[in-house]
Amino acid sequence: MITEYRTTAFTRILYSVFALFFLFILGLILRQARTPGAGTIVAVIVFVAAAAFFVYYAFRRKVEVGDDFIRYNNGFSQKEIQLSDIKGFRITGDKNKSLRLVSGSAGVKDLTIGAYSDYSGELMTAIRRSLKDLDASILEQETKAALNDDQYGANEEERKRTLRRAKNIAAVYNFGSFAFFLLLVFRDIKWTILIALLYPLVGLYIMATSKGLIRFFSNTKKSVIQALFVGMIMPSMILLVLTLSNYQVLHYKSVWPFVLTVSIVLVALNYACGFNRAFGQIGVQLLVMAFAAVPYSIGGVIGLNGALDKTHPEVYPAAVTGQRVSHGRSTSYYLTLSPWGPMTGAFETSVGRRLYNAVNLGDTVEVSLHSGWLHIPWYQVTPRHANP
């Protein structure tokens, strides 16, 4: 007996909407094209092909489960694996999750069913009924081992509380990095910098005192060890964005020695407190640690250099000789200024939208040059006669 599972009606409608959207965009392009040329022909081919792909992909995909095999047709190719060759299954990915049927036989490749949630829930019911969830099995084994480990408590009930507490602490820490810092963005920049600098240090303390239950990186689907990498990365990114938008560094060559030193120290601390031996993949863990450490270091160095700077700035007048707006993922505004202070040539700098709209070509602005707490010169551009 063979049971066939096809994509749900919702999935087919959704992908059909995507196809119509591509055709709509193509219609706009053709409407604007006065004289059809090679570019128009290419656009027709690309957009029609994309629309056809979405429709074909939605309606042709299917999974067939037989008494001794599972067959997957993605609309373009067909793969099959015998049930006797399957060791179990895993769910991979975060957004478009895939169902991976893991082979336990030499010479037999795994079979991956892409975007399995596009099918009815009956597919996963059949899979779970026939095959072992490998990640759940590993998690169960780890949980049993932890509940028998005396370092987590004197009895099983205490050990359960220890595991729950570690999970709750990690969840609060990671969620707090979003909720708390999104509120701080709109408050005093100096307090935001201070708390953003302290937040990862709190994470280091949590990992160091967690008895191995909280680490920098982990796969919580198959491990009792909780991960803090989201909570460590988020404040670093916020710190970087805020400091770069509030403190304009004159020359970055004096920044990099500090950044390199802080990054190495922070990665070393993360490794010492948060390396997950059970997870393995040392390179991956170090890469994620560096991904958190570098923006933290850049933002921290520039932020402290500006926020703790108590020196009186030197103020120079400069004429606006050029203006431009850059449109990308975000809109950026730039002014080109005449020579001022140590700058002997034309000087382009990014500014806020309010300042950009407040000046015109030929106007004079004031550039306040600060020496910096770490002796890294930074500056501010303000309208003339405004307080720096």
Q: What's the rounded Cα separation, in Å, for the pair 301 and 193?
A: 10
In b/e form, how buried is each residue of 47-86, taking b as 16+ CB within 10 angstroms? Answer: beebbebbbebbeebbbbbeeeebbbbbeeeeeebeeebb
Instruction: Give 379's DSSP letter.
Output: E
Q: At 33, phi and psi to the nearest 5? A: -75, 110
Tokens of 243: 């400091």
Instruction: Kindly state the average pLDDT of the residues 106-129.
Output: 85
Q: What's the rounded Cα separation, in Å, for the pair 144 and 134?
A: 16
Query: How many CB atoms sit inside 10 A of residue 236's CB?
Result: 25
Q: At 34, phi and psi to the nearest 5? A: -70, -45
Q: What's the rounded Cα separation, in Å, for the pair 55 and 61?
A: 10
Q: What's the rounded Cα separation, in Å, for the pair 220 and 226?
A: 6
Q: What's the rounded Cα separation, in Å, for the pair 207 and 215?
A: 6
Instruction: Kindly state the average pLDDT of the residues 208-220.
Output: 88
Find out whether 192 and 242 touch, Cβ atoms under 8 Å.
Answer: yes
Query: For residue range 138-148, what is the model confidence (pLDDT) as tens digits?
Result: 788 888 888 88
Is residue 223's pLDDT more than 60? yes
Query: For residue range 264-313, what is the model confidence (pLDDT) as tens digits?
Result: 999 999 999 999 887 777 888 898 899 899 999 999 999 999 989 988 99
pTM of the model: 0.68
Find out whether 388 and 365 touch, Cβ atoms under 8 Å.
Answer: no
Report the Cα 212 to chain-centroid distance in Å.
25
Instruction: Give the side-chain half-sphere CA count within 13 A for 114.
Output: 10
DSSP assignment string, 283-338: HHHHHHHHHHHHHHHHHHHHHHHHHT--SPPEEEEEEEEEEEEEESSSEEEEEEE-
Instruction: Give 89's DSSP letter.
Output: E
Instruction: Kindly state the average pLDDT of the residues 93-115.
Output: 82
Query: For residue range 13-55, what is the model confidence (pLDDT) as tens digits?
Result: 888 888 888 888 778 777 765 566 666 778 788 888 888 888 8
Burial level of 39, CB count in 10 A (0-12/13-18/19+)? Answer: exposed
Tokens of 102: 């893991």
Which residues, at least 6 apart from 59, have a Cβ–Cβ distance to it below 8 Å? 7, 12, 75
Is residue 133's pLDDT more than 90? no
